[in-house]
Structure 1
Amino acid sequence: MKIFSAAQIREADAYTIAHEPVSSAMLMERAAAACAGWLRARFMADTPLYIFCGKGNNGGDGLVIARLLLLRGYNVEVYVVHNSDKTSADRAANYTLLEKEHPHLLHHIHARHDFPTLAPGALVIDAIFGTGLSRPVDGWVAGILHSISELKDRHTIVAIDMPSGVMADGSSLHAPCVHARYTLSFEFYKLAFLLPENAERVGELHILPIGLHPTYIAQTTTPYHIIDEQTIRTIYQPRKPFSHKGTFGHALLIAGSFGKMGAAVLAAKACLRAGVGLLTLHVPRCGYEIIQSTVPAAMCVAEVEEQYSIHFHEGLNPAYKCIGVGPGIGTETATARSLERLLEAVKAPMVLDADALNIIGTYPALLQKVPKNSLLTPHPKEFERLFGATSDDFERLSLLGKKAVELQLYILLKGRYTAIACPDGAVYFNTTGNPGMATGGSGDVLTGILTSLLAQGYSPKAAIVFGVWLHGSAGDQAAARLSEEALLPEDIIDSLGQVFIRLSPDKRI
């Protein structure tokens, strides 16, 4: 699924109006009807309802929503925020229609002191600014947005298209914005929805289809994409009947140190459960018995001299199709030197996570030695140590994409909507996963999955897109069964099979 800019969304509207064809007024009616239907399904008609409308098309959406809900018997009051002397034609027409039928329900806000006192337990609809906002709101209108946000603990706030004050394509980090409980947007995700700085403003997001023209969507390019199941089904490679363990590759995981062998165990189990044919673990001597007893399907190579840490400086078996390194290895100097030798010796794409990234953050010159098309999986703090601090999430997203292209690496930035930047400039956002996965060990599971998929022959791009989606989907399966609070990394591993069953063309559940 593509993610379009605010300008492209306006173009999509215009293309739909010209080529369906449909009038702009009817397109507004569609959008408002989708919102009104969503509201009717969740809120009773006797709920006090206040709709704050601006002077642009977002305000027009709000006016149509008011009219449609009034026809259904809802108790609606409309407050027009005079944020501009200008108005759109469709918004003006809908204002005239509502004024003719329900003049007593229309109120006007020209200053912050005009803000009304609301009935208890009210539903508040924010339709002041939409996608087109390109600069922070100031003056008394900023005060209105603040007044609406102050209601969030006592009333339910629903934003239409965008929470007012939030810009679709740029940071609104320090700008006055409405903080919504729900956001109802149309047809596409916006970049602003996917970045942490807007989490408290957007609330629970719902994307409503309004029938924008599929030809425009198909022919318009964008670097930004949402990973959806349709995409995953084009990547997933079902097993063939005459396959054998050699078909699915031999992976090497370099993981663990004294007190951190659990990371190695989790990565190994995930690697196996994700389908690798053969797995070898390279661990310190203290981890040998642990691996042999907890992961019997894996082979184990232990350090001969090092009891508590890994130096992994011996020659590598050319049979390894992929090497994953990092979970729990520590960051001592000897390990860092060994990682440097490993990066110099390996030419094929690798998976680097956790302490491998922390070592590279300490010794930045190692970044230039990472094999091209390797997969890096930092969380935000690791990303900052690798590439430097940024002032907001949009700047960090830009830096993520820049570094992926510059270094010719796949760089995954973990989060609620994990972002994957590719060497070709594309960026993919993953929507699977849940807060229950925010626990130690979840990242080790992801490392195992990615290493497994690369070893099986998936391309680096396919492996990272599929692997992140698979990891999140398994987490969702586990949370549905156990709750987010009780979710453990082992539960993600145990749920991988259910996700594969869902993808299988012959065994869907």
Structure 2
Amino acid sequence: MKILSAPQIRAADAYTIEHEPVRSVLLMERAAAECAGWMVHTFGENPPPFYIFCGMGNNGGDGLVIARLLKEHGFTVQAWLVHHSDAASEDNLANQPHYAALQHIHSLADFPVMEEHGVIVDAIFGTGLSRPVEGWVAGIIHKINDQRSRQTIVSIDMPSGLLADQASGHAPCIHARYTLSFQFYKLAFLLPENADKAGQVVILQIGLHPDYIAQVQTRFHVVDEVIIRTIYQPRDPFAHKGTYGHAFLVAGSYGKMGAAVLAAKACLRAGAGLLTMHVPRCGYEIAQTSVPEAMCETEDTAHFSAHFHETVKDSYASIGIGPGTGTEATTAKALEKLLGKFGRPMVLDADALNIISHYPFLLQKIPHSSILTPHPKEFERLFGPTADHFERLALLSAKAQELQLYILLKGRFSAMACPDGAVYFNPTGNPGMASAGSGDVLTGILTGLLCQGYTPKAALLLGVWLHGLAGDLAADDISEEALIAEDIINYLGLAWLKVRNT
């Protein structure tokens, strides 16, 4: 799914109006009807009172239509026009007479008293907002937010005050429980600093013209089932284990062999045909007994690996390195030699990234199209701090292009930056996955997919989707609170079935 900027969304509206063709006021009716339908479905069994705050633009026009439609459905509705401007948009004006009980807010003193346990619909500002809200209208936003413990807040298209394509900082902004977004995610929804503003994002299809959507160019995408369907490669019925490649996993050290075991199991569950683990001597028995499907090699060093570069074979289809390896100087030296020896894309995570942050010149030695998987702190150690998440996203993309690498910035809506400048966000996953070992599992999955012949981009998009989906399936069964990394591995089979049947 493409993520469009605010100007592109306005262009999509205009294209739809011209080429469908449809009058703009009827397109507004269509969008508002989708919102009202969602509200009836969500709150309709025993509907609470609805309090709808409408701005002077087209977002407010949506709110006016929603108010009328809910009223026609028998809901208790009150609606206010917030006069933040001297003039209303044409379609807003056209809809005002159709809601006879419309009330007006000209100042903070006009803010109404509302019954508890209702639904506040925020339709004050939409994607057209380009600067922070100020003055008494900012006070209205604060007043609405003060109702959060007593009311359910639903924002239409955008939480009022949130800027779609740039950092909003500490500007006044509605904190919604739900945001009903028209047709697309907005970039702002996907960044951590706005998690408490957009709430649960619901994408509503409003029939924007498919020709415009197909032709419009954007760097930003959300991975969806359509993308996954194009990536997934069904198994060949005449395949043998050699068909799906031989993976090499460098992982584990004294006290951290769990990371190696998790990564190895995940690599095999991801579909690798063969796997060789390279572990220090202290981990040999653990690896052999915990992952009997894998081959295992070790070295004389007892507690950490220092000679894995010597055993790398040209026959290895992929290499994953970093989970639990430690950052000893000899391990760092071996990593440097490995990067100079293995010319194909590999997966680097955890301690491999920590080593590189201590020796930044190693960034230039990483084979092009390799996959780096830092969490936010590892990313900061590698590339430096940023002022906000928009700036960090820009740095992420710039580094992926400069180094010609795939860089995954892990988190909610993990961001995957590509060497060509594209950035993909992953929607699967849940807070239960924020626990020890989850990243090691992901490293194993990515290594296993790369090993099978998936391109680095395909392996990354599919692997992160699978990882999150397995976590979601596990959480559905055992709860987010009880979820541990091994559960993600155990549910990979069900995740694969869902992908296969997509």
Q: TM-score range by the shorter chain?
A: over 0.9
Q: Which amino acid aligns with 1:290?
A: I
**Structure 2: 5+ residue runs without aligned partners?**
none
CA distance in 1, matches of 2:73, 2:242: 64
Query: Match for residue 477 of structure 1?
Result: 473
Query: Match for residue 271 of structure 1?
Result: 267
Query: Match for residue 83 of structure 1?
Result: 84
Contact 1:255–1:283 (Cα < 8 Å) also in 2: yes
- Partner deviation per Cα, 1:21-58 (whole Å, 9 max, x = no partner): 11000000011111111111122465221111110000
SS at match of 1:176: coil
Structure 2 residue 206 is matched with structure 1 residue 210? yes
Structure 2 residue 427 is matched with structure 1 residue 431? yes
The aligned runs of 1:166-185 (5 Å cut-off) are 166-185=162-181
CA distance in 2, matches of 1:365, 1:111: 59
CA distance in 1, matches of 2:150, 2:273: 56
- Seen in structure 2, the aligned counterparts of structure 1 residues 129 and 280 have a Cα distance that, compared at 3 Å, is same
The aligned runs of 1:238-253 (5 Å cut-off) are 238-253=234-249
CA distance in 2, matches of 1:97, 1:290: 72
Following superposition, the deviation at residue 106 of structure 1 comes to: 2.2
Q: 2:278 aligns with which of 279, 282, 297?
A: 282
Following superposition, the deviation at residue 313 of structure 1 comes to: 4.0
Query: Match for residue 158 of structure 2?
Result: 162
Structure 2 residue 302 is matched with structure 1 residue 307? yes
Contact 1:12–1:217 (Cα < 8 Å) also in 2: yes
Contact 1:173–1:198 (Cα < 8 Å) also in 2: no
Contact 2:58–2:92 (Cα < 8 Å) also in 1: yes
CA distance in 1, matches of 2:42, 2:407: 40
Contact 1:329–1:355 (Cα < 8 Å) also in 2: yes
Contact 2:96–2:102 (Cα < 8 Å) also in 1: no
The aligned runs of 1:9-88 (5 Å cut-off) are 9-44=9-44, 46-88=47-89
Query: Match for residue 500 of structure 1?
Result: 496
Query: Match for residue 109 of structure 2?
Result: 113
SS at match of 1:344: helix
- Percent identity between the aligned chains? 66
SS at match of 1:118: coil
Following superposition, the deviation at residue 173 of structure 1 comes to: 2.5
CA distance in 2, matches of 1:410, 1:21: 41
CA distance in 1, matches of 2:288, 2:72: 69
CA distance in 2, matches of 1:439, 1:267: 15
Query: Match for residue 382 of structure 1?
Result: 378
Contact 2:4–2:218 (Cα < 8 Å) also in 1: yes
Following superposition, the deviation at residue 68 of structure 1 comes to: 0.7
Q: Which amino acid aligns with 1:150?
A: D
Following superposition, the deviation at residue 502 of structure 1 comes to: 2.6
Contact 2:251–2:279 (Cα < 8 Å) also in 1: yes
- Partner deviation per Cα, 1:277-311 (whole Å, 9 max, x = no partner): 1100110100000000000010111121x111111
Structure 2 residue 136 is matched with structure 1 residue 140? yes
Following superposition, the deviation at residue 132 of structure 1 comes to: 1.0
CA distance in 1, matches of 2:378, 2:47: 50
CA distance in 2, matches of 1:127, 1:502: 37
SS at match of 2:144: helix
Q: Which amino acid aligns with 1:500?
A: W
Name which of structure 1's ranges 110-119 and 39-48 shifts more when overlaid on structure 2: 39-48
Name which of structure 1's ranges 365-374 and 40-49 shifts more when overlaid on structure 2: 40-49
Contact 1:258–1:308 (Cα < 8 Å) also in 2: yes
SS at match of 2:53: strand
SS at match of 1:423: coil
Structure 2 residue 90 is matched with structure 1 residue 95? no
CA distance in 2, matches of 1:500, 1:342: 32
Following superposition, the deviation at residue 316 of structure 1 comes to: 1.7
Contact 1:149–1:179 (Cα < 8 Å) also in 2: yes
SS at match of 1:90: helix
The aligned runs of 1:405-416 (5 Å cut-off) are 405-416=401-412
Following superposition, the deviation at residue 327 of structure 1 comes to: 0.1
SS at match of 1:371: coil
Contact 2:132–2:172 (Cα < 8 Å) also in 1: yes
Q: Output the TM-score relative to the length of structure 2.
A: 0.98
Contact 2:469–2:495 (Cα < 8 Å) also in 1: yes
CA distance in 2, matches of 1:120, 1:278: 61
CA distance in 1, matches of 2:232, 2:383: 32
SS at match of 2:180: strand
The aligned runs of 1:284-299 (5 Å cut-off) are 284-299=280-295
Following superposition, the deviation at residue 501 of structure 1 comes to: 2.1
CA distance in 2, matches of 1:137, 1:474: 41
- Seen in structure 2, the aligned counterparts of structure 1 residues 286 and 125 have a Cα distance that, compared at 3 Å, is same
- Partner deviation per Cα, 1:402-461 (whole Å, 9 max, x = no partner): 110000000001111011000011111111111111111110000001001111111111
CA distance in 2, matches of 1:246, 1:122: 61
CA distance in 2, matches of 1:153, 1:173: 23
Following superposition, the deviation at residue 315 of structure 1 comes to: 4.0
CA distance in 2, matches of 1:115, 1:334: 67
- Seen in structure 2, the aligned counterparts of structure 1 residues 503 and 48 have a Cα distance that, compared at 3 Å, is closer
- Partner deviation per Cα, 1:81-118 (whole Å, 9 max, x = no partner): 111112110000101222xxx2xx32221222221121
Query: Match for residue 7 of structure 1?
Result: 7
- Partner deviation per Cα, 1:193-213 (whole Å, 9 max, x = no partner): 111111100011101111111
Following superposition, the deviation at residue 344 of structure 1 comes to: 1.5
CA distance in 2, matches of 1:233, 1:89: 42
SS at match of 2:385: coil
Q: Which amino acid aligns with 1:58?
A: N
Q: Which amino acid aligns with 2:96?
A: Y
Following superposition, the deviation at residue 365 of structure 1 comes to: 1.2
Contact 1:180–1:201 (Cα < 8 Å) also in 2: yes
Query: Match for residue 347 of structure 1?
Result: 343
Contact 1:194–1:417 (Cα < 8 Å) also in 2: yes
The aligned runs of 1:355-370 (5 Å cut-off) are 355-370=351-366
Q: Output the TM-score relative to the length of structure 1.
A: 0.96
CA distance in 2, matches of 1:315, 1:262: 22
Contact 2:232–2:462 (Cα < 8 Å) also in 1: yes
